[in-house]
Structure 1
């Protein structure tokens, strides 16, 4: 009897130990499941730049009031400025692609014609048109506070920020007959100075240097010499001859010229600040009655990526119907990458990181460069 009783006691102890071990194992599994982050924890991290924008962009934009006019540009990788019109007034809104929220930034009682964001994203230029022959320029902070407002007697205005000194903006003020004045607006000093420059479309090449194509109006040509001029000097210097178009960035100069004697290809060449060639590529070009068509392009200095819309062959522009290919070129490695095909020749604007681009005549579309997707920003 004592043996049976001992066996029963041992059996009972083993059962208790088994239950305790099982309970501990089950508790551990339960704790591991509870330790996994829930979906809400992931979605709350909306300030972190997306690794896959198309999975987190909140689109389309819901227009809070009025009618969508156009997108003005990038304020950051996930923030856009867009304009709406309501009767005779215009408003600027800040849209967050990650949260889907719109914030009213600025309201004008007269229509907004132009919105430009400075290269560093620290200032916003608003051009309004109170009347046919008046242009009003307002400079805002990114929060929408007014820094300066000034009116110009003008039929049309064109602007060029100084990327090395953003308190300065070159303003080309056109009359109705397209004669013009070249002005320098100093935001910090709150003054405007008239400059003596023979061409209206100029670019900054340095803190006090500008470049422009010196077209000869008496002898029309496809190409013109590219000149360098210091603002405090009357002397000019020829940088390159026979240039069709050019663009200038902080430390990069890009020219569009002819590639071959037959003029079948357009050559895009990039130079450093010492005018030494860094990279060059060629694409077909389209001819027009007055010259060549240079498709829209943009350049991201941060990663050295240049994107352009490329025609598939060289023909007359009016007869061309095969669409454009959006291609990215890396000026550092020389590699190129096809992004999208069958597009129209419409403006493109890269985001600060270069991972996305606004596209369209009103920047009403957005392109994910990595996934090569084209999405609508606003419902049609």
Structure 2
């Protein structure tokens, strides 16, 4: 009887132990919790601020890449072209020259720099420099002021408008394929490239306030092709697309995107701006053939009365989006992908296009 009771007790103990093994002590399972965890929204890092030395700093030039801004300094008798990366804070030397640097442009391909230097008030020296800092081409032009229009398709071709002391001008075409510099007889001092061998001009028949006709000069045979675009006060070209601006009346500018064959893609209107005797068309930056970043006035009026009355817009295929308000009429310079733009007459303001924010990226240490 005792043996039977012991056997029963042992069976109960074993069964109880098995039951305990089927329900082990509680542990945290390696799986997602059933309740949601609130995540903080992602905020991109703020751009680094470049601390400039005012005793050395010369000017802000252009975008080298999507995040690197070119600026010019004078160091130990040399003028240096440097970059500052607003996302990493890194800086470095790109090019240096003993001559006074007036301007620096970056070709749309990103492969070349144009360095405009001068050692005399009536002479300009232009150097085309590769990424390695080596001078590829060099040309000198007599001028007191120089307008430069770089061919987007062929970086070896450049239009130069050489203004003289009496404001007369000569228009030159430089061709780096044979290092030739030739004069072109056109009435427009500010023509634009419309391909490798075509130049687009604005021909005024009457008062400039009434606008002019857009024409195309063919370099190969010297022929001038007329277009159906009249009363234009401004134009710009990207590949096979042209944006023209016409004055609708005293209060509005009409912008139109067309193909070079005349086909209209889309258009819009913005308030007109004048400087008493001439129309003032604020900056336009092409992103591609169907989209642009445009500066427009909040309301029509005289330029010297507007101060910070300008806005930045994004236009694409007929749709518009306001990016930011409260800019001045100074030019804008956008990075290759238009992730950022520099604004202000001295390019000291940084606009984050996606975030729609205006930031200071440069600070002068006194």
Q: Please give the alpha-carbon distance, in whole angstroms, between the structure 1 residues aligned to 2:301 and 2:108.
A: 36
Aligned to 2:310: 324
Aligned to 1:225: 213
Deviations 1:156-190 (A, max 9, x none): 22211112222211111222222222222222333
Aligned to 1:92: 81
Given that 1:298 and 1:308 are in contact with CA atoms closer than 8 Å, whether structure 2 keeps it comes out as yes
In structure 2, relative to structure 1, the CA distance for the partners of 1:290 and 1:215 (3 Å cut) is same
Given the alignment of the two structures, is residue 296 of structure 1 paired with residue 280 of structure 2, yes or no?
no
Which of 327, 331, 353 is the equivalent residue of 1:347? 331
Which of 159, 178, 189 is the equivalent residue of 2:178? 189
Which of 334, 338, 350 is the equivalent residue of 1:366? 350
Aligned to 2:224: 236
Which of 48, 56, 67 is the equivalent residue of 1:67? 56
In structure 2, relative to structure 1, the CA distance for the partners of 1:62 and 1:321 (3 Å cut) is closer
Q: Post-superposition shift, 1:106?
A: 0.8
Unaligned runs of 5+ in 1: 33-51
Q: Please give the alpha-carbon distance, in whole angstroms, between the structure 2 residues aligned to 1:267 and 1:108.
A: 44
Q: Which has the higher helix share?
A: 1
Secondary structure in structure 1 of the residue aligned to 2:44 = helix
Q: Please give the alpha-carbon distance, in whole angstroms, between the structure 1 residues aligned to 2:149 and 2:266.
A: 25
Q: Please give the alpha-carbon distance, in whole angstroms, between the structure 1 residues aligned to 2:53 and 2:18.
A: 71
In structure 2, relative to structure 1, the CA distance for the partners of 1:363 and 1:321 (3 Å cut) is closer
Q: Please give the alpha-carbon distance, in whole angstroms, between the structure 2 residues aligned to 1:18 and 1:63.
A: 69
Q: Post-superposition shift, 1:367?
A: 0.7
Q: Please give the alpha-carbon distance, in whole angstroms, between the structure 2 residues aligned to 1:78 and 1:114.
A: 20
Corresponding pairs, count? 350
Given the alignment of the two structures, is residue 248 of structure 1 paired with residue 234 of structure 2, yes or no?
no
Which deviates more from structure 2 when the two are superposed, residues 345-354 or residues 319-328?
A: 319-328
Given the alignment of the two structures, is residue 273 of structure 1 paired with residue 260 of structure 2, yes or no?
yes
In structure 2, relative to structure 1, the CA distance for the partners of 1:316 and 1:105 (3 Å cut) is closer
In structure 2, relative to structure 1, the CA distance for the partners of 1:316 and 1:362 (3 Å cut) is closer
TM-score by length of structure 1 reads 0.81
In structure 2, relative to structure 1, the CA distance for the partners of 1:9 and 1:62 (3 Å cut) is farther
Given that 1:300 and 1:350 are in contact with CA atoms closer than 8 Å, whether structure 2 keeps it comes out as no
Q: Post-superposition shift, 1:321?
A: 5.1
Which deviates more from structure 2 when the two are superposed, residues 271-280 or residues 9-18?
A: 9-18
Deviations 1:4-39 (A, max 9, x none): 5666677677778877x868x67x58xx9xxxxxxx
Given the alignment of the two structures, is residue 137 of structure 1 paired with residue 126 of structure 2, yes or no?
yes
Aligned to 1:36: none
Alignment of 1:210-221 (within 5 A): 210-215=199-204, 220-221=207-208
Aligned to 1:44: none
Given that 1:70 and 1:83 are in contact with CA atoms closer than 8 Å, whether structure 2 keeps it comes out as yes
Unaligned runs of 5+ in 2: 1-5, 33-41
Deviations 1:200-257 (A, max 9, x none): 21101122110111245xx543122222111123332222222111111112111111
Higher relative contact order (CA 8 A, sep 6+): 2
Aligned to 1:121: 110
